[in-house]
Structure 1
Amino acid sequence: MPLIAVAYVKGRPGATTTALGLAALAPAHARPVVVEADPSGGDLIRRLGLAATPSVVDLAAAARGTTPAEDALAAGTQEAVIGQVGVPVVVAPAGGAQTRAALPELTGAGRAVLTTRERLLVADCGRLAPGPAAWPLLRLADVVLVMARARTDDLAHLREALADLVDVGAGRLVVLLAAGGLYPAAEVADVLTRHVVKELARDPNAIDVLGPLPTDRKAAAVLGGDLLAARRWRRLPLMRAYTGLLDTLAPHLPITASTPTDFREETPR
């Protein structure tokens, strides 16, 4: 399945909200699934009032054998409802220990549960830290979406992580600027690209900078389970931004040939 890995390196710029928003707004043919893969533990159980099981632990258990990817996902998913849209999610327990134990079962050699081409999978990888937990998942991703606010401290931490992020795999590296930044996207792109070229000696096209996302408390509250979605919830500024982001990323997200590959061909669910 096409895989978007959503992560960050500093602060809390809204990775979980973004992962859920992308899945909620993806068209039906993409058959999206959100997987909480944050090594520090998940948030969706409490945010959305979901059950503790099934979870990423059940998905990992199903992935150990010869279970087909679709059946393994079915063993780990439950449904969250966002604006009358059912979004399959694989939740993670709080605390992180069980998630850290499960991730190698999902990303090891021969594991196909996250890499078939029949669904759009959006993995919430949380904060990137040294260690083996989430990085193997990033190597599998078609798009690595790293969120940051356009502020000096966030960007300094991001710049220090760029060498690892550029080298993490063949997927597209995109920096998505969250709301609340100080600098325009063009300026951030210039600084990061110069660092990639001059300090890392890498291809200047190795990184894209998109955003910033709009400040939209109402949409964030809908995705966080604190506000019931109104009839036109997809027209909220943040939801529109996520839809535009999906359109931008579509060329990098291969869906099986039997389904459309351009997200704009189908009205979101």
Structure 2
Amino acid sequence: MLIGLASVKGSPGVTSTALALAAVWPRPVVLLEADPAGGDLAYRCRAAHGGPVYSQRGLLKLAAAVRGGLPSNDVLSNEAQLLACGVNLVQGVTTAAQARGFGGIWPTIAQACTMAEVDVIADLGRLDRTSPVMALAQSTTYLLPVASATLEAAMHLTEGLQDVMGGLAQYGAVNIGPVLVGPDSQAARDCADLDDMLHRAGLPTLPALPMPYDPKALLRLEQGEKASGRLGRTLLLRGAKAIAASMGAVEAVSA
């Protein structure tokens, strides 16, 4: 299963949501930083060995490995390294210039994700129909556009999804489930308002899901605390678990 997270207008929270979701995912999973503008988890998180994430492994090496075709189903996992928080990360490029050198490799990277023997959560960064990572978005089982829980962000999300969903339409059905990052106390109302806005725009999305804004819990996760302990009871990871469970429920209905 490939799950993509993205923003449609540079909304904050995509990478943090992807990290939290990977930390609580119920099956073996790899977190792929596929943002063409560059990843930052290597700077924010510690590796399991206690030091920084090794720069010799990651998306750049993955792109080189698949340039002549997909060598094996575990080519993606081979580029992952374990973070202290327990997440297996394939770190992204450090600059947009590096991603521009990928050319037509993105569809093969997407194939590496869908053929992997583990689930893959991909941070796609800012997404529109001209984005080079549309090849990944087209291959997702679930695409989760992330936005702040504000009226302005909801309006931008609605407009952006019209563009993205138009670009995805020719490739078959993709389950699109918006995620709103904001105060937990207002989550139900915010999600209901967004669902109504998307329905009025004629966009067939799954019900919006909340991701509580919880910077303290996020910092603990980045510093290496695992989701299996007390951190798992925080708003952040409870929200991530609810998102993961919702996708499991949709899978069960679709099966």
TM-score between the two structures when normalised by the length of structure 1:
0.79
Match of 1:201 in 2: none
Task: Report the counterpart of residue 24 of structure 2 in structure 1.
Answer: 25
1:79-103 residue CA offsets vs partner (Å, 9 max, x unmatched): 1121xx2x21110132122234337
Secondary structure of residue in 2 paired with 1:113: helix
Question: Partners in 2 of 1:80 and 1:239 — Cα distance?
Answer: 17
Q: Any residues of structure 2 matched to 1:1-269 within 5 Å, and which?
A: 2-27=1-26, 30-48=27-45, 49-64=52-67, 65-70=69-74, 72-82=75-85, 85=86, 87-102=87-102, 104-108=104-108, 112-116=111-115, 118-129=117-128, 131-167=130-166, 168=168, 169=171, 170-180=173-183, 184-196=190-202, 206-225=204-223, 228=225, 231-252=229-250
Aligned residues: 239
Q: Is the 8 A contact 2:33 2:59 kept in 1?
A: yes
**Alignment TM-score, normalising by the size of structure 2:** 0.83
Structure 1 residues 55 and 164: CA distance shift in structure 2, 3 A: same
Q: 1:234 offset after TM fit, Å? A: 0.9
**1:153 to partner: Cα distance:** 1.8
Instruction: Give 2:162's aligned amino acid.
Output: A
Q: What does the per-residue CA deviation read over 1:35-93, in whole Å, with 9 as the maximum and x for residues that have no partner?
A: 001010010111113122201011112223341121x12432111121xx2x2111013
Q: Is the 8 A contact 1:92 1:99 kept in 2?
A: no
Cα distance in 1, alignment partners of residues 79 and 99 from structure 2? 13
Q: Which consecutive unaligned segments of at least 5 residues does structure 1 have?
A: 197-203, 255-261, 263-269
- What is the distance in 2 between the residues matched to 1:131 and 1:66? 24
Give the secondary structure class of the aligned counterpart of 2:193.
Answer: helix
Q: Distance in 1 between matches of 2:126 and 2:40?
A: 13
Q: Give me the whole-angstrom Cα distance separating, in 2, the residues matched to 1:112 and 1:192.
A: 30
* Shift in CA distance, 129/111, structure 1 to aligned 2, threshold 3 Å: closer
Whole-angstrom distance in 1 between the partners of 2:155 and 2:60: 35
Judging changes above 3 Å, is the alpha-carbon distance between structure 1 residues 24 and 138 closer, same or farther for their aligned structure 2 residues? same
Question: What is the DSSP-based 3-state SS (H/G/I as helix, E as strand, rest coil) of the residue aligned with 1:81?
Answer: coil
Deviation string, structure 1 residues 160-199 (Cα, Å, up to 9, x no partner): 2122332314210111111158962111111111112xxx
Would you say the 8 A contact 1:20–1:34 is kept in 2? yes
Contact 1:77 1:88 in 2 (8 A): yes
- Asked if the contact 1:36–1:42 (Cα under 8 Å) also holds between the matched residues in 2, the reply is yes
Flag structure 2 segments of 5+ consecutive residues without an equivalent: 46-51
**CA–CA distance in structure 2, aligned partners of residues 162 and 111 of structure 1:** 21
Aligned to 1:259: none
Partner SS for 1:112: helix
Q: Aligned in 2, Cα 1:41/1:15: closer, same or farther, shift over 3 Å?
A: same
Relative to 1, partners in 2 of residues 1:224 and 1:113: Cα closer, same or farther, differing over 3 Å? same
The Cα of 1:252 is off from its aligned counterpart by 4.9
